[in-house]
């Protein structure tokens, strides 16, 4: 990767880069499928073939007619998921291979194996990992009779896991895990936390009786929203509706008018709100700004400004460079054994969709 060339490209105004990307894309036709996550900057989402959440995007890539090259504007675990779900002959390219997800990177395979060695001697346990995890962790769940969940099907995966085991080991987002467990009716006293920094998880006396053991991981973007932010909105905008993502802490979730995945928030604004409404959202700022631009007749605004810095590492300059160097650009690779078990876990998740 020629970083000097990328630095040169970054000096051009975004509008010029957008025009050049359009021209390159036109010459490439259906060979290239450009996917953009909903948290990408607006200019990138405007240029993409598909815009959506990570799972929806990966499926789109696999089903895209043509699509010899899949360029994924998102973070690394998403590009890995696209690799796992795409057809073998498709090449997956990630414009910034350094753009990881801080939450996914909070659970490494050696740490998870160490926790599993400790927990597997207790009551029967099913591991469930959130889609926002590395391919290694997805494969760990596949190999150990577990599955993967998204923020929209987490309840179904809990139901499935409790039919076959006594406990759930939930990775890597403590908050999505707790919010799902509470919604499922599990008593807070039956929820324990595994701290990967402690050799025994930090709470060994709690694990035997726990129904859900949560990995101590979090999304820095969704941790920014507080009950104080919400009280401020309620005081000055008493008619406002507050929407939050389930990666927020449980006290924030408890006080929201609506809790849903990125896609569910988008759908809620589209279908459940009308001109003149005031809508405050607790999720990544680019999604909120894109929704605000799409619905100028209502007030769509942030609960607090929170930017995903690694999503933002995908710039217009990097995107253009990737598109201009499809043949030589580094491919996203996932070892075959990891792909096999990760795919198994993904297929289990799909069979639970209903």
Report the interface residues with ligand SF4, using CB under 6 A.
Answer: 39, 75, 101-103, 132, 219-221, 284, 308, 310-311
Q: What is the phi/psi pair of residue 11, to 5°?
A: -75, -20
Q: Residue 10's closest CA among 312, 249, 327?
A: 312
Q: Residue 70's closest CA among 45, 49, 43?
A: 49
Question: With respect to ligand SF4, which residue has the nearer C-beta, 133 or 339?
Answer: 133
Q: 3-state SS of 73-132?
A: ECCHHHHHHHHHHCCCCCEEECCCCCCCCCCHHHCCHHHHHHHHHHHCCCCCEEEEEECC
Question: With respect to ligand SF4, which residue has the nearer C-beta, 132 or 315?
Answer: 132
Contact 322, 93 (CB under 8 A): yes
Gap between the terminal Cα atoms of the chain: 43
Distance CA 143, CA 205 (A): 27
Question: With respect to ligand SF4, which residue has the nearer C-beta, 35 or 311?
Answer: 311
Q: How far is the CB of 130 from ligand SF4 (least distance, A)?
A: 9
Tell me the three state secondary structure of residue 315.
Answer: coil
Q: Any idea what the Cα angle at residue 254 is, between residues 302 and 350, rounded to 5°?
A: 85
Question: With respect to ligand SF4, which residue has the nearer C-beta, 49 or 284?
Answer: 284
Residue count (the chain): 354
Q: Residue 204's closest CA among 293, 311, 115?
A: 115
Q: How far is the CB of 231 from ligand SF4 (least distance, A)?
A: 24
Q: How far is the CB of 75 from ligand SF4 (least distance, A)?
A: 5
Q: How far is the CB of 148 from ligand SF4 (least distance, A)?
A: 14
Q: How far is the CB of 303 from ligand SF4 (least distance, A)?
A: 14
Q: How far is the CB of 207 from ligand SF4 (least distance, A)?
A: 26
Question: With respect to ligand SF4, which residue has the nearer C-beta, 101 or 191?
Answer: 101
Question: With respect to ligand SF4, which residue has the nearer C-beta, 99 or 233?
Answer: 99
Q: How far is the CB of 78 from ligand SF4 (least distance, A)?
A: 8
Question: With respect to ligand SF4, which residue has the nearer C-beta, 100 or 122?
Answer: 100
Question: With respect to ligand SF4, which residue has the nearer C-beta, 71 or 101?
Answer: 101
Instruction: Spell out where the chain has E strands.
Output: 32-37, 50-52, 69-73, 91-93, 125-130, 147-149, 167-171, 191-194, 212-215, 241-244, 258-259, 278-282, 299-302
Q: How far is the CB of 205 from ligand SF4 (least distance, A)?
A: 31
């Amino acid at each position: 990767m020629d970083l000097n060339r990328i630095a040169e490209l970054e000096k051009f105004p975004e509008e010029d880069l957008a025009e050049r990307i359009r021209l390159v894309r036109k010459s490439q036709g259906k060979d290239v499928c450009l996917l953009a996550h909903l948290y990408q900057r607006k200019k990138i989402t405007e240029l993409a073939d598909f815009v959506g959440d990570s799972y929806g995007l990966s499926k789109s890539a696999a089903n895209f007619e043509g699509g010899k090259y899949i360029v994924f504007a998102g973070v690394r675990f998403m590009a890995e998921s696209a690799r796992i779900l795409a057809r073998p002959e498709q090449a997956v390219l990630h414009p910034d291979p350094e753009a990881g997800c801080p939450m996914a990177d909070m659970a490494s395979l050696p740490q998870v194996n160490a926790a599993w060695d400790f927990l597997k001697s207790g009551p029967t346990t099913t591991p469930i990992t959130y889609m926002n995890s590395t391919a290694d962790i997805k494969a760990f769940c596949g190999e150990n009779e577990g599955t993967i969940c998204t923020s929209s099907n987490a309840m179904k995966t809990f139901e499935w896991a409790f039919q076959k085991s006594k406990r759930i080991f939930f990775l890597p987002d403590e908050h999505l895990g707790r919010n799902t467990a509470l919604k499922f009716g599990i008593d807070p006293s039956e929820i324990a936390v595994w701290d990967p920094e402690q050799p025994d998880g930090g709470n060994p006396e709690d694990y035997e009786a726990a129904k859900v053991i949560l990995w101590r991981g979090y999304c820095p973007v969704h941790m920014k929203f507080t009950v104080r932010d919400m009280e401020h909105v309620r005081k000055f905008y008493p008619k406002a509706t507050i929407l939050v993502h389930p990666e927020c802490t449980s006290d924030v979730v408890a006080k929201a008018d609506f809790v849903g995945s990125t896609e569910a928030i988008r759908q809620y604004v589209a279908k459940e709100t009308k001109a003149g409404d005031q809508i405050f959202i607790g999720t990544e700022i680019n999604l909120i700004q894109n929704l605000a631009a799409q619905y100028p007749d209502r007030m769509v605004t942030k609960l607090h400004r929170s930017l995903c810095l690694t999503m933002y590492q995908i710039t217009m300059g990097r995107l253009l460079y990737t598109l201009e160097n499809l043949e030589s650009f580094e491919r996203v690779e996932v070892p075959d054994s990891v792909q096999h078990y990760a795919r198994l876990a993904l297929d289990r998740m799909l069979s639970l969709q209903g």
